[in-house]
Amino acid sequence: MTEEIIIAGFGGQGVLSMGKILAYSGIMQDQEVSWMPSYGPEMRGGTANVTVIVSDERISSPVLNQYDTAIILNQQSMDKFEKTVKPGGLLLYDPNGIVHHPTRTDINIYKIEGARLASELGNAKIFNMIVLGAYLKIKPIVKYENVVRGLKKSLPERYHKLIPMNEAALQKGMENPVPVNTL
């Protein structure tokens, strides 16, 4: 199994940390992982993206131009990454702020109302965990218990009191992905 993922959105949405938790989850079940962030001018301009690969085999290139899954959290990223999903792949997006919705018919498209659900739960910061939950519901590439272990590994000890809240967000996300186009 090799899953090649791009997660893209605004800086501050937790794009990089979502990728990090996913990567740690892979390590928890003895898989190979890579996490390659954008760290350049586009990051300073407000958008952020990270390429995460989780695989049973040794990972070759950590940078790619086609992905099994694109998790898209703003319009700029939709414009840039919708076309990079491999045919038959997955596009998961939050419709909040999206004007031009995805139109491809050769990929699976789901939406998750991460921003709305996060504000309903009363904490905008758990937005990324809701989205991650939705993704793992559609593609359970890592076991849930390993995500929680990954969360513990990637969070500094002083934030471990926040783990129950993050778990609640993951659960919320798992309950709420909405299919838009399924093959």
Partner 1 sequence: MGELKLMKGNEAIAEAAIREGVDAYFGYPITPQSEVIEYLMMEKPHERTGMVVLQAESELAAINMVYGAASVGRKVFTSSSSPGISLYQEGISYIAGAELPCVIANVVRGGPGLGTIQPSQADYFQTVKGGGHGDYRLFTLAPSSVQEMADFIELGFEIAFKYRNPVMILSDGMIGQMMEKVELKDQKPRWSADEIKAMHGSWATIGKPESRERNIITSLDLDPHKQEKHNHHLQAKYRQMEKEEVRYETFDTDDAEYLIVAYGSSARIAQKTIMLAREKGIKVGLLRPITLYPFPEKPLAELASRMKGVLSVEMSAGQMVEDVRLAVGCSDIPVEHFGRYGGVIHSPDEVLEALEQKIIGGK
Does residue 60 bind partner 1 (CB under 8 A)? Answer: yes
Burial of 13 from C-beta contacts in 10 A (0-12 / 13-18 / 19+): buried
Query: DSSP 3-state helix, strand, coil percentages of the chain (rounded to 5)?
Result: 45, 25, 30
Residues in Cβ contact with 106 at an 8 Å cutoff, skipping those fewer than 6 apart = 87, 88, 183
Rank residues 64 and 121 by Cβ distance to partner 1 and give the closer one: 64
For the segment 93-132, give every residue that binds partner 1 (CB under 8 A). Answer: none
Does residue 59 bind partner 1 (CB under 8 A)? Answer: yes
Does residue 148 bind partner 1 (CB under 8 A)? Answer: no
Q: How far is CA 59 from CA 24, 88, 131, 140, 153, in A?
A: 15, 22, 25, 20, 22
Exactly one of 6, 9, 13, 34 binds partner 1 (CB under 8 A); that residue is: 34
Exactly one of 11, 29, 37, 171 binds partner 1 (CB under 8 A); that residue is: 37
* Binding range to partner 1, per CB under 8 A, among 53-61, 67-75, 114-122, 172-180: 53-61
Exactly one of 62, 88, 97, 179 binds partner 1 (CB under 8 A); that residue is: 62
Nearest approach, Cβ of residue 63 and partner 1 (Å): 5
Q: How far is CA 101 from CA 46, 96, 105, 138, in A?
A: 21, 11, 12, 19
Exactly one of 6, 8, 33, 142 binds partner 1 (CB under 8 A); that residue is: 33
| Residues 72, 81 contacting (CB under 8 angstroms) | yes
Count of C-beta atoms within a 10 Å radius of residue 44: 10
* Binding range to partner 1, per CB under 8 A, among 23-31, 94-102, 107-115, 169-177: 23-31
* Binding range to partner 1, per CB under 8 A, among 29-37, 68-76, 123-131, 159-167: 29-37
* CA distance linking residue 9 with residue 64, whole number of Å: 17
Which residues form the interface with partner 1 (CB under 8 A)? 20, 23-24, 27, 32-37, 39-41, 59-66, 153-154
